[in-house]
Amino acid sequence: MTFMVCNLAFAKFVVLDDVHFDKQHSAKNYKIVSVDNGIPTEIRLKAGNYGYTRMTVKQNKKLVYITDLLTEDNIHHMQRVQDQDSGRIFYLLSQFRHATAFGYDPVKGSWQEYINSKNYYTGYDKPHANLIVNKDNELELSFFVFGDGVPNHIYQFFWDNKANWFGYRDLGYYVFKDGKNHKV
């Protein structure tokens, strides 16, 4: 279902897999196998060169994509999500100061990095980054520093079929209080 906000369509996303990593469940050797966009897909995260996490993607058992997630931060959260309007599958990876979204592009026939938190204004020096599907099933990137009453900078994303890419809306700053975000 698509909602209109300021003449922009914000699609709803559904979470298919939601994995949290910690010292006992490390992303340094993790594998997820699924059928995405009709293609058998295997994504593997493991320790790569120089301490970075390496992500490899196989489709039909053939290696089709490899990248090093160039940050010293460990991955602490991964979601496999689906845009309800287009049916497209995306992988959201959140590290402490970096967040990315990857997925298969059937138009180009290749894997893409769609969202990289380093390309968005944060308002802070070295903030934490989190890319998730929120409780309203909207895809959002938030930047925050820990502290009572410290504002978060939030972006909301939507899939644009015409552009074959994500569009976004800068929601500005919010303070998390009483279990909700409040506009600053």
Write the DSSP assignment of the chain as a string of letters: -EEEETTEEEE-EEEEEEEE--SSS-TTEEEEEEEETTEEEEEEEEE-GGGPEEEEEEETTEEEEEEEE-SSSPEEEEEEEEETTT--EEEEEEESS-EEEEEEETTTTEEEEEEEGGGS--SSSS-EEEEEE-TTS-EEEEEE-SSTTPPEEEEEEEEETTTTEEEEEEEEEEEEETTEEEE-
Asked if residue 175 has pLDDT above 70, the reply is: yes
**Predicted pLDDT of residue 14:** 94
Q: Rounded distance, CA 59 to CA 40, Å?
A: 6
Count the neighbouring beta carbons within 10 Å of the beta carbon of residue 125. Answer: 6
Residue 40 lies in a domain: no
The total number of structural domains that make up the chain: 1
Asked if residue 24 has pLDDT above 90, the reply is: no
**Strongest mean pLDDT among 15-24, 109-118, 173-182:** 109-118
Residue 50 lies in a domain: no
pLDDT band at 48 (very low <50, low <70, confident <90, very high): low
**Predicted pLDDT of residue 126:** 75
What pTM does this model have?
0.82
CA dihedral 102→104→107→113, nearest 10 degrees, is 20
Average pLDDT over residues 142-155: 81
Residue 19 lies in a domain: yes
The mean pLDDT of the chain is 81
Residue 8 lies in a domain: yes
Among 2, 41, 7, smallest CA distance to 169 is for: 7
Residue 145 lies in a domain: yes
pLDDT digits (tens, 9 = 90+) for 70-116: 555 566 788 899 999 889 999 998 877 889 999 999 899 889 999 99
**Predicted pLDDT of residue 50:** 67
Average pLDDT over residues 35-55: 79
**Predicted pLDDT of residue 33:** 86
Residue 59 lies in a domain: no
Range of the domain at 171: 2-23+73-183
Residue 88 lies in a domain: yes
Residue 31 lies in a domain: no
pLDDT digits (tens, 9 = 90+) for 118-147: 899 887 777 888 898 988 899 999 988 776
Q: Which amino acid is at 44?
A: R
